[in-house]
Amino acid sequence: MYQHGSPNMILWFFLAVFILSCVLMGWLLWPFISVIILAIVVTAVFTPVYKLLNRRLNPTLSSLLTCVLIFFVLFLPLSFLVGILANEAWELYLTARSALQDKPIMELLAKSDLFGKANHFLARFKIEITGEQLNRAIAEIGRVVALFLYEQARSITTNVLKFIVNFFFMLLIIFYLLIDSPRLISFIVKISPLPDDQDQTLIQKFKDIATAILLGNGLAGLIQGTLGGVVFAFFGLKSPFVWGVIMALLAFLPILGIGVVFVPAAVLLFAQGRIGAGVFFLVFYIVLSGSIEYLFKPKLVGQRVRMHTLIVFLSIIGGLKLFGILGIIYGPLVVTAFLTLSEIYLASYRQMVETAE
């Protein structure tokens, strides 16, 4: 067969066309990228269920039953809880905004000697906190957090049809991923120019981090958020559902955690003169957080995800800032890709680069 150019020219032309087709394919799928990523993550978590069913049933029926399970586990609770979250978050936002004007926190602290004792202690370090500063800080934090949650919930409730369509679109992707994921992984490994072992390392890392995020942090956050919300409701604090959701999200953060909510709540109870309730809040927080972080998570997740605590914290904060609520998932995935590729570079390509120089 006659060739119209040298082999090198043919190769570069093919690569240019191939890269262009990849860019166009990415452009085509970009509107659905969030749904696709979520589908991949959820598939990684529910794959053991599919494999268990597949021992007795055919792949199609096993995948269908797994999708039905995902529908009951994810869609129904989300649909029920989002409406409650939107209402309570808006009420909390209004309460925090009025606190900036009416200054109830200042009045409460003025009646309590706790504030004076705290300033007396801080005076040793030449630090003084005024009631105005504390009132503004607490109220502003509550306002910003409540508004963020309200906007996230409202974006779902005001686009109910879009939410339903996206969820069932995600289920459709999951249905085929469960059946065809081995072939898809094989295709990716074959088309990738990296050695097979490096491709498998990348894929396995993503599976591990997906499992750790949803199964480990997700269940831990659900437990802490639920119990925290119940305690808030039991002691008569406002918006227990919203605070439960906030604690469930904060449980993903390894440095701050639910202490961001429980400690100020305990201080508020002390300022109100409810000493027993304040002590209970502190003890409950220490027991709940400690048991989850040092007993529940290590046994559930194990050593599959080895990432520095500070990096996990920054990845989630950065993900929330860039991608909204889904940043809890996207942030760690981006960091996982970077760290895994860094390990591969140090193990396989660093010496080649240094030799080339």
The pLDDT of residue 146: 56
pLDDT for res 50: 92
- Determine the pLDDT at residue 175: 93
| Domain assignment of residue 312, given as a range | 195-348
Assess if residue 110 is contained within a domain: no
Task: Determine, yes or no, domain membership for 14.
Answer: no
Q: Do residues 170 and 253 share a domain?
A: no
Domain boundary among 171, 191, 211: 191
Which of 163, 191, 219 is a domain's end point?
A: 191
Task: Note whether 206 and 168 are same-domain residues.
Answer: no
Whether 17 is in a domain gets the answer: no
Q: Are residues 187 and 199 in the same domain?
A: no
The predicted model scores a pTM of: 0.66
Asked if residue 70 belongs to a domain, the reply is: yes
Predicted local distance difference test score (pLDDT) of residue 186: 84
Token code pair at residue 329 = 């998932």
Examine the domain organization and report whether 52 and 67 are in the same domain: yes
Relative orientation angle of helices 219-234 and 259-271, to the nearest 10 degrees: 10
Structure-token pair, residue 138: 């607490």
Same domain, 161 and 186: yes
Domain boundary among 173, 191, 209: 191
pLDDT at position 65: 94
Number of domains the chain contains: 2
Query: Who contacts 309 (Cβ-Cβ below 8 Å, separation ≥6)?
Result: 254, 255
Clarify whether residues 309 and 332 are in a common domain. Answer: yes
Q: What is the model's pLDDT at position 68?
A: 93
Please give the backbone phi and psi of residue 5, each rounded to the nearest 5 degrees, phi first: -165, 175
pLDDT for the residue numbered 171: 92
Whether residue 236 lies inside any domain: the answer is yes
Q: Is the residue at 280 inside a domain?
A: yes
- Is residue 54 assigned to a domain? yes
Q: Is the dihedral angle over the CA atoms 291, 297, 300, 302 positive or is it negative?
A: negative
In a shared domain, residues 180 and 251 = no
In angstroms, rounded to a whole number, what is the distance separating the alpha carbons of residues 264 and 282? Answer: 10
The reply to whether 22 falls in a domain is: no
Same domain? For 148 and 222 the reply is no
Q: What is the pLDDT along the chain (357 residues), one digit of tens a residue?
A: 555 556 678 778 888 898 899 899 989 988 888 888 888 888 887 888 999 999 888 999 999 999 999 988 888 777 766 666 656 555 655 555 554 454 555 555 555 555 555 555 555 655 555 545 555 555 555 556 655 655 655 555 555 667 778 888 999 999 999 998 888 888 888 887 778 777 887 777 777 777 776 677 778 888 888 888 888 888 887 777 777 877 887 777 776 778 877 887 887 777 777 888 888 888 888 888 888 877 777 666 655 556 677 787 788 888 878 877 777 778 888 888 888 788 777 777 777 766 765
User: Are 187 and 328 in the same domain?
Assistant: no
Q: 265 and 201: one domain?
A: yes
Q: What is the pLDDT of residue 100?
A: 47
* Residue 247 sits in the same domain as residue 328: yes
- 310-314 long-range contacts (CB < 8 A, ≥24 apart) are 310/255, 311/335, 311/339, 312/253, 312/254, 313/253, 313/254, 313/255, 313/256
- Do residues 170 and 222 share a domain? no
Give the distance, in angstroms, between the CA of residue 341 and the centroid of all CA atoms in the same chain.
22
